[in-house]
Amino acid sequence: MSRRRRSYETGHRPKLLVVIDDTEECDRAVYFASRRAARIGGNVIMLRVMETHDQSQQWLGVADIMRAEAHENANAALDRAAGRANRIAAIAPERVIREGDATEQILEVIEQDVDIAMLVLSANPGAEGPGPLTTMLAKIVGTFPIPVVIVPGDLGDDDLDALS
């Protein structure tokens, strides 16, 4: 059972969780979450989930090298997204890097921070579908402990300004 959310209680402020990936539409989620956080006096948590690599390569040290490169790439992606959020809404997002299954890591981050009030994802507007993370989470969204907002990837800044 999920812990009680405390986002709007005295001494707390709401946070919007955004999963940072390498898709173009991820910027729409960052934009929406940043604008919304600024409007409600909250903040953004940016989560980057690194895939778990085969540990059988450990004896060669390859797994350590791959993990270090993935961590470096995760930091670079979070740097870009945090810079964008700062330019959009003058906020300094929190940053979290996790390793493992994306759904499990998202749920763990939500469980650990009682101030997270909303998960913001984006969806690819193209024929190939909304994207693997959005598709995967859509199957279990009814059991999530917080609301999930899916931002259409083809909405422009003006559209998102009107909605956030």
**What one-character DSSP code corresponds to residue 4?**
P
Tokens of 36: 């919304």
44 or 153: which carries more pLDDT confidence?
44
Whether residue 72 is predicted with pLDDT greater than 90 in this model: the reply is yes
Cα–Cα dist 3/21, whole Å: 27
Q: What pLDDT, on a 0 to 100 scale, did the predictor assign at position 65?
A: 81
Whether residue 60 is predicted with pLDDT greater than 90 in this model: the reply is no
Cα–Cα dist 118/116, whole Å: 6
* 157 contacts 31 by C-beta, under 8 angstroms: yes
pLDDT band at 15 (very low <50, low <70, confident <90, very high): very high
Strand blocks (E) in the chain: 15-19, 43-50, 94-99, 116-123, 148-152
Q: What pLDDT, on a 0 to 100 scale, did the predictor assign at position 67?
A: 83
User: What pLDDT digit, counting tens, does each position of 108-127 carry?
Assistant: 999 999 999 999 999 888 77
CATH superfamily of 15-163: HUPs (3.40.50.620)
Q: What pLDDT, on a 0 to 100 scale, did the predictor assign at position 76?
A: 96
Q: What pLDDT, on a 0 to 100 scale, did the predictor assign at position 57?
A: 54
Whether residue 55 is predicted with pLDDT greater than 60 in this model: the reply is no
Domain extents in the chain: 15-163
pLDDT band at 135 (very low <50, low <70, confident <90, very high): confident
Tokens of 122: 């984006």
Mean pLDDT, all residues of the chain: 89
